[in-house]
Amino acid sequence: MTRAGAPAEESLFFQRCRWCSTTMYHRLICPACASSDLRTERSVGTGVVRHSTVALRGTPAARNVSLVEMAEGFTVRGRVKGPLASIRPGCLVRLCVIEDPVRGEPVFELCDSPYGGRYR
Ligand SMILES: [Zn+2]
Protein backbone atom coordinates (compact mmCIF):
# COMPACT_ATOMS: atom_id res chain seq x y z
CA MET A 1 0.00 0.00 0.00
CA THR A 2 1.36 3.38 -0.91
CA ARG A 3 -0.14 6.69 0.01
CA ALA A 4 0.95 9.34 -2.40
CA GLY A 5 2.23 12.48 -0.78
CA ALA A 6 2.29 11.14 2.75
CA PRO A 7 5.70 11.00 4.38
CA ALA A 8 6.69 7.42 5.16
CA GLU A 9 8.11 8.35 8.52
CA GLU A 10 9.24 11.44 10.33
CA SER A 11 12.97 11.34 10.28
CA LEU A 12 15.83 13.76 10.32
CA PHE A 13 18.84 13.22 8.13
CA PHE A 14 22.30 14.55 8.78
CA GLN A 15 25.75 14.28 7.29
CA ARG A 16 28.76 12.49 8.72
CA CYS A 17 32.29 13.09 7.49
CA ARG A 18 33.88 9.93 6.09
CA TRP A 19 37.29 11.10 7.19
CA CYS A 20 36.91 12.33 10.75
CA SER A 21 33.35 11.18 11.62
CA THR A 22 32.24 14.70 12.56
CA THR A 23 28.46 15.04 12.33
CA MET A 24 26.73 18.08 10.88
CA TYR A 25 23.38 19.24 9.60
CA HIS A 26 22.77 20.59 6.10
CA ARG A 27 26.42 21.24 5.41
CA LEU A 28 28.37 20.54 2.23
CA ILE A 29 31.82 20.62 3.78
CA CYS A 30 33.03 19.18 7.07
CA PRO A 31 33.58 22.03 9.58
CA ALA A 32 36.42 20.09 11.22
CA CYS A 33 38.59 18.91 8.32
CA ALA A 34 37.03 20.66 5.29
CA SER A 35 36.41 17.38 3.50
CA SER A 36 33.45 17.24 1.15
CA ASP A 37 33.30 13.45 1.41
CA LEU A 38 30.17 13.21 3.53
CA ARG A 39 27.60 10.52 3.89
CA THR A 40 23.99 10.98 4.88
CA GLU A 41 22.66 9.17 7.91
CA ARG A 42 19.35 9.11 9.70
CA SER A 43 19.09 10.51 13.19
CA VAL A 44 17.35 8.60 15.97
CA GLY A 45 15.40 11.81 16.51
CA THR A 46 16.19 12.60 20.12
CA GLY A 47 18.26 15.44 21.47
CA VAL A 48 18.83 17.95 24.23
CA VAL A 49 17.91 21.63 24.14
CA ARG A 50 21.14 23.65 24.27
CA HIS A 51 19.76 27.12 23.76
CA SER A 52 16.23 28.42 23.67
CA THR A 53 14.73 31.80 22.94
CA VAL A 54 11.26 33.15 22.32
CA ALA A 55 10.70 34.95 19.05
CA LEU A 56 8.12 37.71 19.21
CA ARG A 57 8.70 39.49 15.93
CA GLY A 58 6.70 38.79 12.80
CA THR A 59 4.41 36.28 14.41
CA PRO A 60 0.97 36.58 15.96
CA ALA A 61 1.97 34.49 18.96
CA ALA A 62 5.24 34.01 20.78
CA ARG A 63 7.10 31.05 19.39
CA ASN A 64 10.02 29.08 20.64
CA VAL A 65 13.28 28.89 18.71
CA SER A 66 15.74 26.37 20.03
CA LEU A 67 19.10 24.89 19.25
CA VAL A 68 18.88 21.16 19.80
CA GLU A 69 21.95 18.97 20.12
CA MET A 70 20.97 15.63 18.67
CA ALA A 71 22.09 12.25 20.00
CA GLU A 72 24.57 11.97 17.11
CA GLY A 73 26.30 15.19 18.13
CA PHE A 74 25.15 17.69 15.52
CA THR A 75 23.05 20.74 16.33
CA VAL A 76 19.78 21.69 14.65
CA ARG A 77 17.78 24.88 14.84
CA GLY A 78 14.10 24.21 15.25
CA ARG A 79 10.98 24.73 17.29
CA VAL A 80 9.98 22.92 20.47
CA LYS A 81 6.30 22.49 21.15
CA GLY A 82 4.97 22.98 24.63
CA PRO A 83 4.59 25.67 27.29
CA LEU A 84 7.27 28.28 26.63
CA ALA A 85 8.24 28.44 30.29
CA SER A 86 9.08 24.74 30.39
CA ILE A 87 11.46 24.74 27.43
CA ARG A 88 14.92 25.28 28.88
CA PRO A 89 18.46 24.20 28.17
CA GLY A 90 18.85 20.61 29.32
CA CYS A 91 15.36 19.46 28.34
CA LEU A 92 15.23 16.17 26.48
CA VAL A 93 13.25 16.46 23.25
CA ARG A 94 12.17 14.20 20.43
CA LEU A 95 11.47 14.96 16.80
CA CYS A 96 7.77 15.04 16.04
CA VAL A 97 7.50 16.76 12.64
CA ILE A 98 10.31 16.91 10.16
CA GLU A 99 9.46 20.38 8.92
CA ASP A 100 7.45 23.19 10.35
CA PRO A 101 5.03 23.94 7.49
CA VAL A 102 5.46 27.65 8.10
CA ARG A 103 9.17 28.00 8.74
CA GLY A 104 10.60 24.86 7.18
CA GLU A 105 12.31 23.86 10.39
CA PRO A 106 12.11 20.63 12.36
CA VAL A 107 9.63 20.61 15.23
CA PHE A 108 10.37 18.83 18.49
CA GLU A 109 8.29 17.91 21.51
CA LEU A 110 9.34 17.56 25.12
CA CYS A 111 10.02 13.94 26.02
CA ASP A 112 9.24 14.16 29.67
CA SER A 113 6.84 15.95 31.88
CA PRO A 114 7.69 19.66 31.79
CA TYR A 115 8.07 19.71 35.53
CA GLY A 116 9.70 16.35 36.14
CA GLY A 117 12.17 15.12 33.61
CA ARG A 118 15.10 17.44 33.45
CA TYR A 119 18.01 15.91 31.65
CA ARG A 120 21.66 16.80 32.21
ZN1 LIG B 1 35.87 15.81 8.61
| Residue scoring higher pLDDT (41 or 56) | 41
pLDDT tens per residue across span 44-99: 999 999 999 988 777 677 778 999 999 999 999 999 988 888 899 999 999 998 77
pTM of the full structure: 0.78
Identify the residue with better confidence: 47 or 6. 47
What spacing in Å lies between the alpha carbon of 62 and ligand 1's midpoint? 38
Position with higher pLDDT, 112 vs 9: 112
The strand order across the sheet containing 13-17 reads 23-24, 13-17, 38-42
What domains can be seen in the chain, in order of their start residue? 13-42 (no CATH), 46-110 (2.40.50)
State the pLDDT at residue 25. Answer: 94
Residue 51 Cα, ligand 1 centroid: separation in angstroms?
A: 25
pLDDT value at residue 9: 60
Q: Assess whether pLDDT exceeds 50 at residue 118.
A: no
DSSP state of 37: -
Q: Are 51 and 66 in contact (CB under 8 A)?
A: yes
